[in-house]
Structure 1
């Protein structure tokens, strides 16, 4: 298993997409650039109140639209504010003992990044051309190679020392400023030897940093070993959780949990039931089944995150079109008091607090081993076992969704159809 920094093993992340959460314009000019990042300050106590202790912060670097088309890795996006505004957020997090993970985009840059024009003007051999992946023999003249067909996203030339130098400089710059680690966007699209060349250089200066790679499909343990990242996003488990609950097929979940257990021999996966790239869990499932999804998340091994708004039942459908992410990246009210939580939202908020509290009381869950004790399409019972204890978890869909969690001392959580 990779040597995860000790603090990361106890992290529970609250994942925020900043541009959306603070209501910044995404695809139009910003009439009033300002310190919008400070709008997250009132939410830090909400994070603590949930039981979380980490802020997984989506892209904050200067970009053209959605944050992943970066034009300057070393500058805060003007729509969010300035370095001073980010420093204020980091200081407020440190005061509360909140770790901060920053979203790093090193797969590509935005088409408007100054290096793109410089490369095309300077030609092969120019410093900018060394940084970017340019097809110098393309029909119609030199053309940048782009990320997954997105014309606005220009690939870095990852075989170049210049790209390694850029990523190393950027990561160290913000770690120096006080963040604790990096989520590496689209890490799966970058050769693993690029990460293997970059991350050790960063760890020389910041040995306690944690690196999370976004990986969707494939050989997760192999990617971790070859790249030297600490963890990857556990999309296999994410899909199995909501799909098994939607289709009443716990065999799918049991299979994914078996694969999840095997991964623990190499690394501790980063687990979730929602993030900025997928349909909201409470759009796929009703509130009762969402509680079961959360029960799995908080009672199996991994380093879990909660996507902002999921804790109160926000809904949003991801669509494959321009602006198709907007519904899952909404603005937050000015403070937690503006959530107006009642009904199913209140049930979900209570369930989040209760289940995160269970995880806090049983920190060994991060690296626990799971054994399935009973399995049908509509019933799953498993034991999560650690060196310092165990939990018995029972999930039922028939006659209605129910979750039961027990430790050696008895019942810790019971959630039936009425949320009680």
Structure 2
């Protein structure tokens, strides 16, 4: 990690997201697990990452791939045991790798003991106050309490049946019906999650990633969503009280424990409010993730991000893919290279060769920008979205809830290929009884870790080289950026110390700066020209006294 010795690790870290179900399968049941992760830690060590963020691994009925949690203090048996996780955290620390645990505070599983007690106890159960139970509208209460649309699309209220068999109240779920929302106005909910944070910090976790961080607090009057009124459950001011309390807990532990929010907000100022000095340490930059492969759009996103973070002194984060979005190799190969859930579709042509070329350049861009960078498992292998999963094998609830229009997120969650010429490509041990839980494309044989290791032209070796240079370069990671003059369609900036990054997003080659020494390029340079869709890191002699501003 390139940073001053006294700068907290999370300000400039390269953080690798592990989606446990799809990373590595240790016991041969076709599902990734803790044993598999432990067996592949050396891959992450060789890659050079500073920290690992683990997507949820808690006991869960898996209605939403583990984001429906029934117990926040244990591990689902499909993944292993709590003792194995404690060993994993220790083994990562031995390799100099920190760990970030995913906490899901907006909602739980309908199998959670609190919710089960709320159902079993009927209308008078005190546990109902921990959720959003409300009578319906209209005669007999047959109409939903509101017409709110869920985060997965579809309805947000489900009616219960009373213990005597009569129709009962409705409960709120911004996601799937199996994910009832907590009532964060209740002090017991707040105390519970504060204790959950302590539980994981006590076990050595270095950070907490907070799922759906802007949704926790709701307007208890349940107004409908109207364009001229504050949203009833997006980014209400009361959510900041929650994170101020969490920050006090994190700050009470040694070793720079970090809180990292999943905050989807178009308003950059509202986004920055989560990063005030007494709230979250960092938040995901979805503006950059969804941005088009276009120089002007990317520069505006970068400038907007840095300007929003500057007043609160928080580091920016740079994300290209994660477990919820179409992989960027596929996005960048399409005519429309932006991303939003509103238009997520399959069957749109993607030139994967072009997408891969651009993804290589995007890797160097994101790893050169100031702040922390996130790598989603498989992006270091150049994996594309898998878009031909048979409908009967899809598991994501977004698929049925969209009326079978949105393909869901399974395509970016296909198990990783490690070695070999045919599935399961080393994801499961030899002789495994079960196939991987999602099918791997046969052509991934050229994208395995083993096939790419030692190939200087591979995506894997590009990531390894880039992260190694980032660690060695004092100017990289956290710090400042200075834009440099450049032709139209080209991004050019300095990070100080003579380190320059150039990215050519135009349709024609452009000249490289005179006297620049290439440190790393996303693909071969054409003598003194930078080809289209190519990034290069350069060492350039700077005049005395020149420094970033």
TM-score by length of 2: 0.66
The worse-fitting range, judged by mean Cα deviation, of 321-330 and 348-357 is: 321-330
**1:41 and 1:89 in contact (8 A); partners too:** yes
Paired residues of 1:34 and 1:78 also in contact (CA < 8 A): no
With over 3 angstroms needed to count, the CA separation of the structure-2 counterparts of 1:31 and 1:128, relative to structure 1, is farther
Query: In the superposition, relative to structure 1, how do residues 399 and 34 fare at CA in structure 2: closer, same or farther (>3 Å)?
Result: closer
Counterpart of 1:156 (choices 172, 182, 193) is: 182
Tell me the number of residue pairs that the alignment of Structure 1 and Structure 2 aligns.
Answer: 401
> Which residue matches 2:8?
6
Deviation at 1:82, TM superposition (A): 0.9
Contact 2:356 2:382 in 1 (8 A): yes
SS of alignment partner, residue 200 of structure 1: helix
Q: Say whether residues 1:46 and 2:43 are aligned partners.
A: yes
Counterpart among 368, 379, 392 of residue 310 in structure 1: 379
- Residue of structure 1 equivalent to 2:257: 209
Structure (1 or 2) with the greater strand fraction: 1
Q: Which residue of 2 aligns with 1:410?
A: 517
Alignment correspondent of 2:151: none
Q: Who wins on radius of gyration, i.e. which is larger?
A: 2
Which residue of the other structure, out of 326, 331, 341, is the alignment partner of 2:451? Answer: 341
- Alignment of structure 1 residues 16-415 onto 2, 5 Å: 16-22=18-24, 36-65=33-62, 66-122=65-121, 126-136=125-135, 139=141, 140-148=167-175, 150-190=176-216, 191-205=239-253, 208-217=256-265, 218=267, 219-225=270-276, 228-240=279-291, 243-244=292-293, 249-265=294-310, 266=312, 267-285=314-332, 286-316=355-385, 320-322=398-400, 324-333=408-417, 338=426, 339=448, 340-342=450-452, 346-375=457-486, 377-385=488-496, 389-399=497-507, 410-415=517-522
Q: Indicate the larger mover: 132-141 or 389-398.
A: 132-141
How many Å separate the matches in 2 of 1:63 and 1:142? 25
Q: Is the 8 A contact 2:16 2:376 kept in 1?
A: yes
For the residues of structure 1 that align with 2:133 and 2:246, how far apart are their CA atoms? 22
> CA, structure 1 residues 381+164, in 2 after alignment: closer, same or farther (shift >3 Å)?
same
Query: Which secondary structure does the structure 2 equivalent of 1:352 belong to?
Result: helix
Quote the offset at 1:227 in angstroms.
7.2
Tell me, yes or no, if the aligned pair for 1:35 and 1:85 is still in contact at 8 Å.
Answer: no
Give the TM-score normalised by structure 1: 0.85
Q: Are 2:212 and 2:263, in contact at CA under 8 Å, matched by a contact in 1?
A: yes
Contact 1:124–1:130, Cα closer than 8 Å, also in 2: no
1:29-73 CA-to-partner distances (Å, cap 9, x unmatched) read: x99699931101222111111111211111111111101000111
Distance 1:205 1:381, change over 3 A: closer
- Would you say the 8 A contact 1:133–1:157 is kept in 2? yes
- Residue in 1 that maps onto 2:545: none
* Structure 2 SS opposite 1:297: helix
* DSSP-derived class of the 1:341 partner: helix
3-state SS of paired residue (1:101):
strand
Contact map agreement 1:36 1:81 (CA 8 A) in 2: yes
The answer to whether the Cα contact below 8 Å between 2:118 and 2:125 also exists between their aligned partners in 1 is yes
Check 1:166–1:125 CA distance in 2 against 1; reply closer, same or farther (3 A cut): farther
CA separation of 1:220/1:402 partners in 2, compared to 1, >3 Å: closer, same or farther? Answer: farther
CA-CA distance at 1:123 after TM superposition: 5.0
RMSD of aligned Cα (Å): 3.3
Structure in which a larger fraction of residues adopt helix: 1
Asked if the contact 1:43–1:335 (Cα under 8 Å) also holds between the matched residues in 2, the reply is no
